[in-house]
Structure 1
Amino acid sequence: MNVLVVGAGAMGRWFGKSLDCDLAFTDADPAVAERAAEQVGGKAVELDTSETFEAVCLTVPLPAVDDAIEDHAEKAETALLDLTGVMAEPISSMAKHAPDKERVSLHPLFGPENAPGNVAVVAAEPGPVTDEILSALKSRGNTLVETTPEEHDEAMTTVQAGAHTAVLAFALSANSVPEGLRTPVYDSLADLTEQVTSGDSRVYADIQAAFDGAEDVAIAAHDLADADPTEFERLYRTAKMKTNRAEDESEDEL
C-alpha cells in the first residue's frame, strides 16, 4: 500500500510512523515535507503533484480541512482519511468530493509525544484499505474509539475548548508562588499549564475557533467569583454532583 500524507507536521509524522507502507509527504512548506520524509522514511512530493495513491490522509490545520479535501481527494485511488481534530465538516466534505471512496475520520486524543492513546474513529465508508490503516494504528498500542461526528464534536467543546480555556485562564491569572507555599491542587494545575503552553499556539487557537466551550467556562468562573458563601457552597455541591455523575457513567461504559 502507498499513502500520501498531506500536512507533514507532528501529527502527520506520527501517522506516517504508525504505518508499514510506502509513504509520501507533502506540505504547504516543501522543506517540512522533506524533513518528514527524512525522519520517517518515504519521499516528499509537490503539493500539486498529479501522482495518485491508494490512500490519502489529510493532517492539516482545522481551518484548512475543507479546501484540502477538495484539492487532494482526486489523488486518492481507494481511500481518503482526515486527521484534523474536527469530524462533522471533513466527513461531509469527503462525502461530497470522494463519494466513491473509502472514507474515515480520525482524531488522536493526545499529542504525538504522548502516544499511544485513544484515537476517535468515524468510519463513514470503511473498506479494506482503511481497515488495514486502522489495524496498523491498533497494533501500535492505540485504542480505537468508534463514535459519530456529532458525538465527537460535542465532546470536544468540553474535552478541548473548555479544558484549554480553564487551564489557560489559570495561567493568565496566577501569581508567582514560593515553592514551600504550594498545594497539591496548585501543583497539578501548574503541571497542566506547562503541558498546554508547551504546544503550538496556532493549534490551540484553531480549536477555540472550531468548538464552543470557552464561554461556559467564563460564565462559571464569573458565577464563582460573584457568589456569596451560601451560593458558593451550592455551586461547589453542583460541581461535585456533576463529577460523581461523570465517574458513574464512565464506570457503566466499562
Structure 2
Amino acid sequence: MTNFNRSRKITIIGGRGRMGQFFTQQLSTAGHQVSTLGNQDWDRASQLLGEAELVIVSVPIERTVAVIERAAKYLLPTTALADITSIKAQPVQAMLANHAGAVMGLHPMFGPSVKSFAGQKVVICSGRNDEIFQWLLDFIADRGGELISCTPEEHDRIMVTIQATRHFSRFCCGAFLSAENTDIDRSLLMSTPSYRQEIEIVNRLFAQNPALCVDIMLATEERCEAIARLAQTYSRLAELILQKDRSALIREFEIAQSFLTQENLASTKQKEYAIAATQL
C-alpha cells in the first residue's frame, strides 16, 4: 500500500461546488494541501495548477472537456490529472489528448451530502500511469470506499441504465404527482413500504440542482436515445392499458419476469430485502 498520508499539493477545479467541497474536505482533513480554482481564479492558474501534484476537475458535465483543455496548458508532465464527472469516455479522451502526464477518470457513485467515503462506490477508469494514483485509491479504500474498475466506454454504457433512464423515470413520476396535485402526506399514511421507498427516492431526485439532473439525462446521445426508447415503452404499455388488453399485458409482464429471473441482479440478501419491501 502506498503512503497516502504524505501531504500532497492538490488543486480541485470547481472545488467550491458541492462535490468539489466534499473532496476538498476529505483530502484537507487528512492533511493534504488543497486549493480550489473557480471561474474567478484563472488569473492564478499558473500557481494553482502549475504547482499541484494532483488536479481534480469537478465541474458540470457540459463544461468538463473545455475546462480540461484550458487547465492542461498549465500542468507539468509530473502532475496527475483526474475528473469526477458522471460520464467518462469524453473526459478521459480529452485528458489523454491534452495532458502528457498521469490521467484517470473517477465517478463517485453518491451525492455530495454524504459525510465520508464509507460504504460508497467509486468507479475508476484507467487512463495513463495508473500507479501515480495508487495513493488516492488507497486513501479512498482506507476510508471505507469500494473501488470498481472498468473502461470509460463500459462505464458510459452502464450509466445509461443506472443514471439516465432512472432519472427520467423518477422525473416523470414527480411531474405526474405534481400534475395530479397528489396529497403526498395523506398518501403516505396508508402506503405500502414500497410506495414510501419510491417516494423517498423521487424526493431525493428533486432535492438536487435541476440543471444537474437535466445534464445527467442529456449528457450523451446514447442517453437521449435510451430515454426515448423508455418513453416509447411507457406509451406502448399505456396503450394496452387503455385497450384493457389483459392478455397482452400479462405477456409483457411474463417476458420481463423471465428476463429478470435469469439475470443475477443482486445477492440473496438483497433480493430478500427487496421482496420484503414490496409486499402489499
TM-score, structure 1 length as denominator?
0.85
Distance 1:128 1:76, change over 3 A: farther
Q: Quote how far apart the aligned CAs of 1:234 are.
A: 1.5
**Matched AA of 1:17:** Q
| 1:112 CA drift (Å) | 2.0
2:256 aligned residue (218, 231, 239): 239
Higher mean C-alpha displacement, 123-132 vs 1-10:
123-132
Classify 1:186/1:240 alpha carbon distance in 2 versus 1 (closer, same or farther; 3 Å): same
CA contact (8 A) 2:104 2:130 kept: no
Q: Secondary structure at the match of 1:105?
A: strand
Q: Distance in 1 between matches of 2:215 and 2:20?
A: 17
The secondary structure found in structure 2 opposite 1:225 is helix
- 1:91-126 residue CA offsets vs partner (Å, 9 max, x unmatched): 11011101x200000000110223531101012113
Greater Cα shift, 73-82 or 100-109: 73-82
The one-letter code sitting in structure 2 at the alignment partner of 1:64 is R
Which of 159, 163, 176 is 2:166 aligned to? 163
Counterpart in the other structure of 1:42: none
Deviations 1:226-252 (A, max 9, x none): 112111112212222333233x15559
Look up the match of 1:204. 213
Alignment of 1:87-106 (within 5 A): 87-98=88-99, 100-106=100-106
Aligned letter for 1:96?
Answer: A
CA distance, structure 2, for counterparts of residue 166 and residue 119 of structure 1: 24
Q: 3-state SS of the aligned residue for 1:124?
A: strand
Structure 1: runs of 5+ lacking an equivalent: 31-45
Shift of 1:127: 4.2
| Aligned counterpart, 2:25 | 17
Offset at 1:64? Answer: 0.6
RMSD: 1.9
Question: Which deviates more, 133-142 or 103-112?
Answer: 133-142
Instruction: Give the equivalent residue in structure 1 for 2:275.
Output: none
Mark the structure with the bigger radius of gyration.
2
Per the alignment, residue 191 of structure 2 pairs with: 182
List, as ranges, runs of 4+ consecutive aligned residues in structure 1 with deviation greater than 4 Å. Answer: 249-252
Structure 1 residue corresponding to 2:133, chosen from 117, 125, 130: 130
Task: Report the counterpart of residue 272 of structure 2 in structure 1.
Answer: none
**SS of equivalent to 1:4:** strand
Match of 1:33 in 2: none
Q: Which residue of 2 aligns with 1:38?
A: none
Aligned residue number for residue 217 of structure 1? 230
**CA contact 1:55–1:129 (8 Å) conserved in 2:** no
| 1:249 to 1:195, Cα distance in 2 relative to 1, 3 A | closer
Higher strand share: 1
Q: Secondary structure at the match of 1:122?
A: strand
Gaps (5+ residues) in structure 2?
Answer: 1-7, 269-280
Cα distance change of structure 1 residues 150 and 127 upon mapping to structure 2, 3 Å threshold: closer
Q: Determine helix, strand or coil for the equivalent of 1:221.
A: helix
TM-score normalised by L of structure 2: 0.78
Does residue 1:81 correspond to 2:66, yes or no?
A: no
For 1:12, the aligned partner's letter is: G
Distance in 1 (CA, whole Å) between partners of 2:152 and 2:135 is 22
Whether 2:150 is the aligned partner of 1:147: answer yes
Q: Pick one of 2, 17, 20 that aligns with 2:9.
A: 2
Distance in 2 between residues matched to 1:127 and 1:181, nearest whole Å: 52
SS in 1 for 2:73: helix
Counterpart of 1:40 in structure 2 is: none
1:195 aligns with 2:204: yes
